[in-house]
Chain A
Amino acid sequence: MDTVFAPATGALSWMWLLIALPLAGATVLLLLGRRADRWGHLLGTATVGAAFVLGLVFFLQLSGLPDDARSATLDLFTFVESGSLNISAGLLFDPLSAVFVLLITGVGFLIHVYAIGYMSHDEGRRRFFAFFNLFVAAMLLLVLGDNYVMMFVGWEGVGVASYLLISFWFNRPSAATAGKKAFLANRVGDAGFLIAIFLMFASFGSTDFQTVFNGTAANNLASGTVLAIGLFLLLGACGKSGQFPLQTWLPDAMEGPTPVSALIHAATMVTAGVYLIARSHPIFSANETAQLVVVSIGALTLLIGCVIGCAKDDIKRVLAYSTVSQIGYMFLAVGLGGAAYALGIIHLLAHGFFKAGLFLGAGSVMHGMNDQVDIRRFGGLWKYMKSTWFTFLLGYLAIIGLPPLSGFFTKDPIILAAFNREGWQGWVFGGAALLGAGLTAFYMTRLFILTFHGPKRWTDDIEHPHESPAIMTIPLWILAVGSVAAGGLMSTSVVNWLTPVFGHTEHHEEKMSHWTATGLTMALVVLGVVIAFLLFRRGTALAEQPARTHIVRAARQNLYADRFNELVLELPGRLLTRALVWVDNRGVDGVVNGLAAAVGGGSARLRRSQTGFVRSYALSILSGAVVVVAALLVVTFG
């Protein structure tokens, strides 16, 4: 199938406004400074709201186009042209970018509204909304770029916005460190992305989606090159999406204000890796090894996330590891390829709703509890914050996959698709996904019960926790409705909508029926819920209990991933740096100083006398000239 994108017509030629609006918002808020303090949050929210409305208009126009021409490219200007390289600042609005635009601006708008309330007591609220707008602009560029370089510009743009927002409270050392860690882990991934782009240019002479995809599909490329492009893209995806081995930055990113965790580190930015792989589906579909690596990373990461999620007591970190794990499911799906591409995307969309809702719910709990994040210090809150409790309940049921909520329609098909992979791989990956579902049910039930039910275990300073204001609870309710309904509504409509992108897929013979998979999944989920309920319905100890097993100890230590980085990367890096500084000051400088002194007649003497200076200058010029002229004579007449 040849990929051909149609040029934009009608309203779609205004799609650059999607990016320009939030970018203008960010610019105005940053340039006006304190003068915009009083209304800055309103402007910031309005630009994203307007972008959402525009996104809807564009979506409707796109859906009016015939199936085979459902795409629109817009060439804004030539970004870089040199030799045979030509990169245009071009945008692409197709069914895949359309759903992302709606997710980013829709959920983004709700979270902006929520943040008006959440950040109302923060003196940096205007700065917060400026960075938030900057993020939305970069994220939209990421999903709208029509070549890999434009995508990369957005890709690093969201990275820097994420950095600014993680270390938003930059006077807290932990926040500053977490921001830096996120940026560095992302840069490692970005380096991989860059190499993939270079490989594309060296192979096809272009970085346009169209040329690269058709070139790959034409099957002229050595399979090793396709594999290399795929793996380097995957490295980029792992960095951005917190997948193994670059997952450790994401939980630390919870140092940022909670709306940031909801929007950037749950609903949108961290899913960019899934977008990258889904967008590059012709590359991954062309190489089975690349797909196998994606599937393996997805399966491994989803288990890592679940296991660590069970061992954490910080409400936001549990949710963060849950995000790591859910994105693992998405990677699993897009790695499986074929019909599962669309499954990965609808799980991503559904996750955008329920995880954003869960994070905002967690923020609402913290808001009412003096910023307490330790779930051992909650309990019985359902009576005091009914809206938060009920919306959180819906998000919780959605993520564990209770029918007919979202997760059931989006996660179960992924488990089934994993089982249906050929041979032993099906059992391994299907089994991992199934086990993950049970563990998810366990840690989410633990989180829910310890927070909202059981005995009160509050710290002494809290007398009467308060429910958040309406400006925060209304977004919660809307997201909760999404958590309930989105999965069911999207399970066929969005899959059909995405067909022009991923193509029709033939049906494989299935080794496991739909009902067997669902039955197994439900059984494990119920088991997880019941165990967690029995263990935690009476609350939990306030202090950390000694770990009795290795797995608990390891899980509390994030499976030693941080320790590994420290020992294998940070420590040798620091020693190397120190050694090189020493060498540079003594060795290199010493040798060259010595040489210079020998030739120039001694720097100490030079410093003392200005007259000797000129003489030695002339002398050295002369001696140099003599040497070279002598050499010339030798060469010419020798």
Chain B
Amino acid sequence: MSSFPFLSALIVVPLIGALITAAVPKGKPRQAKFIAMGFSLVVLAITAVMCVRFTAGDRALQFTEHYSWVPDWGLNLSFGVDGIALVMLALTAVLTPVVIGASWNDADAEKRNVPTFFALILALQATMIGTFVSANVLLFYIFFEVMLVPMYFLIGSYGGLRRQYAAVKFFLYSLLGGMVLLAAIIGLWVASGGVMDWQALIDGGPVDPTLQNWLFLGFFLAFAIKAPFFPFHTWLPDAGGAAPAGVAALLVGVMDKIGTFAILRYCLPLFPDASQTFAPLAIALALVGVIYGALVAIGQTDLRRLVAYTSIAHFGFIGVGIFAFTTQSGTGAVLYMVNHGLATGLLFIVVGMLAARRGSSQIADFGGAGKLMPLLAGTFFIAGMASLALPGTAPFVSEFLVMLGTFSVNKPVAIISVLGIILAAGYVLWMYQRTMQGTLNPALTELKPMRRDLNLREKLVVTPLIVGILALGVYPQPVLDIINPAVESTLDFVGVTDPAPTVPTAEPVATGDN
């Protein structure tokens, strides 16, 4: 391997970008936008190189770096990624420039500070990357908490209606989770004798089973709020509804996945016995989320809130996949995290484009709009189809893997989750029908922006996401090759194996009793 510190570079580059962007005078918004875009593209390039150099079959953490920081606390600057973290990095690296492009004019209105907006996005990216590349529990915790700050200001200062309420609610929820997480980390610190490096904790073996239960609950609660799982989800519709579209895409597309990522990275390997103990509870919550999120999504009257609720249903699928403990369901869950980022990211961005044109995201304010903007309608349709996991789009593969793997160990759960795909068709098609189809809403024809189809910038923003959704839908195997070993290794930590087929493959020769 090379000596280039890829992972620290991934944190430092966007951080420097954020500082430089923030330093741009308020009167030169264009300059700030291009600087931010430039830095996000550098991050994308570094990540691309990493994807090429990553050894897919290797289960150990790769690109590791280690610098001592506060040895007394066990706090080290330890970095390293496995396949799961790598695909999440790739998702972050792709989504950030797309979001910067999508939010190009979002901060211009109402004389808000444009450079700060883009600086905050880069700062958010740096901290989110930090959570993915940390190989030290305390270091992870620091990034996990600090990333709230840029997100808080992005929602609270640049959001829409009720942005203050939403931002505070988001912060409070996360705060609650972070507090419990810190307590649990302190508990772990006590139990492990001050060891906080992930690899060292793994090598030291799991702690006492009773203690595991408490620590697991502490970690899990924090991550269940972040993901969010039912019933800790109610901050998400408010935050997703109030945040600017691009920020919502980052919030739901990447930041929420840190919850599920951390469950895979910390809860399962560090507390294997407790994970098995609490798996039924986690699956129950996730399963309720699948059905509940979809049903509540159907009843929404606001596009952004609707998309937020669909995500709660999708996170339910991810949760089921993680806690079913099979290779297929786990791999499906990780792939789901990536695919959901692309699909829901696109959905949020398209909804943002619609809302910007209409000046409202109320569903009732649209109707028949497909006639006016065929390209935007087509993009909306593709995003919707990806959201309902149509085969040929990426989310199908992940949802299929989750349900298939779950079915092999728990049939009722899998069958109930299949109901979720019928409900998904319901909310997507009804949303599309009420906005794009049917009689043209006369109020729309009078609005000039509603006659403007996608412009060049918007086309450039949606194209990479559409290409990604279709490419990963047709040929997901390269990504699966990266995810599979990491998931298998995680399941090894938990100590579970896949069930064998009930009927041995009928090789006629194998039946003899030689």
Contact = CB atoms under 8 A, between A and B. Distances in A.
Contact of B371 (A171, A215, A623): A171
Interface stretch (A273-281, A315-323, A409-417, A589-597): A589-597
Interface stretch (B276-284, B343-351, B396-404): B396-404
B422 A184 contact: yes
Given A580-B296, A625-B183, A629-B186, A157 B178 contact: no
Given A184-B429, A204-B503, A198 B391 contact: no
B393 to A, nearest CB: 10
B187 A632 contact: yes
Interface stretch (A188-196, A332-340, A558-566): A188-196
B370 A184 contact: no
Contact of A82 (B165, B331, B411): B331
B392 A153 contact: yes
A79 B477 contact: yes
Taking residues whose C-beta sits less than 8 angstroms from the other chain, chain A's interface range is 35 or more
Interface string B177-193: 01110111011001100
A599 B221 CA distance: 15
Nearest to B332: A82
Interface of A is mostly: helix
Contacts of A593: 169, 234
A77 interface: yes
Nearest to B407: A198
Interface in A163-216: 163, 167, 170-173, 176-177, 179-180, 183-184, 187-188, 190-191, 194-195, 197-199, 201-206, 211, 214-215
A70 B72 CA distance: 73
Interface string B407-419: 1100100110011
A632 B217 CA distance: 13
Interface stretch (B31-39, B83-91, B434-442): B434-442
Given A82-B331, A628-B186, A635 B429 contact: no
A194 B396 CA distance: 12
A607 interface: yes
Contacts of A204: 501, 503, 505-506
Contact of B164 (A85, A152, A600, A607): A607
A78 interface: yes
A214 to B, nearest CB: 5
Contact of B295 (A2, A580, A588): A580
B422 A188 contact: yes
A604 B480 CA distance: 47
B218 interface: yes
A599 B415 CA distance: 38
Interface string B301-336: 000000000000000000000000011100110000
B403 A194 contact: yes
Contacts of A620: 175-176, 179
B231 interface: yes
A333 B461 CA distance: 53
B426 interface: yes
B437 A171 contact: yes
Contacts of B484: 81-83
B158 to A, nearest CB: 17
B298 to A, nearest CB: 5
Contact of B190 (A30, A191, A632): A632
Contact of B397 (A80, A163, A197): A80
A221 interface: yes
A577 interface: yes
Interface string B230-245: 0111100000000000
Contact of B176 (A30, A188, A599, A635): A599
Contact of B408 (A180, A202, A218, A581): A202
A160 interface: yes
A233 to B, nearest CB: 14
B295 A170 contact: no
B214 A628 contact: yes
B168 A603 contact: yes
A343 B334 CA distance: 47
Given A183-B425, A187-B425, A629-B187, A201 B390 contact: no
Interface in A27-50: 30, 33
A581 B234 contact: no
Contacts of A85: 327-328, 401, 404
B159 interface: no
Contact of B438 (A171, A194, A198): A171
A177 B332 CA distance: 33
A469 interface: no
B300 A624 contact: no
Nearest to A592: B234
B58 interface: no
Given A82-B331, A176-B433, A584-B296, A152 B391 contact: yes
A606 B170 CA distance: 12
B430 interface: yes
Interface in A227-286: none
**Shortest 5 CB-CB contacts between residues of A and residues of B:** A83-B327, A205-B501, A628-B183, A198-B407, A176-B437
Interface of B: 164-165, 168-169, 172-173, 175-176, 178-180, 182-184, 186-187, 190-191, 210-211, 214, 218, 231-234, 292, 295-296, 298-300, 326-328, 331-332, 368, 370-371, 374-375, 378, 385, 390-392, 396-397, 400-401, 403-405, 407-408, 411, 414-415, 418-419, 421-422, 425-426, 429-430, 433, 436-440, 475-477, 480-481, 484, 488, 498-506, 508
Given A83-B488, A85-B327, A202-B502, 8 more contacts: A80-B397, A171-B370, A173-B438, A191-B422, A201-B501, A584-B292, A599-B179, A620-B179
20 contacts: A80-B401, A80-B477, A170-B368, A170-B437, A170-B438, A176-B437, A184-B425, A187-B421, A191-B421, A194-B400, A201-B407, A202-B407, A202-B408, A218-B508, A221-B503, A578-B299, A580-B292, A593-B234, A625-B183, A631-B214
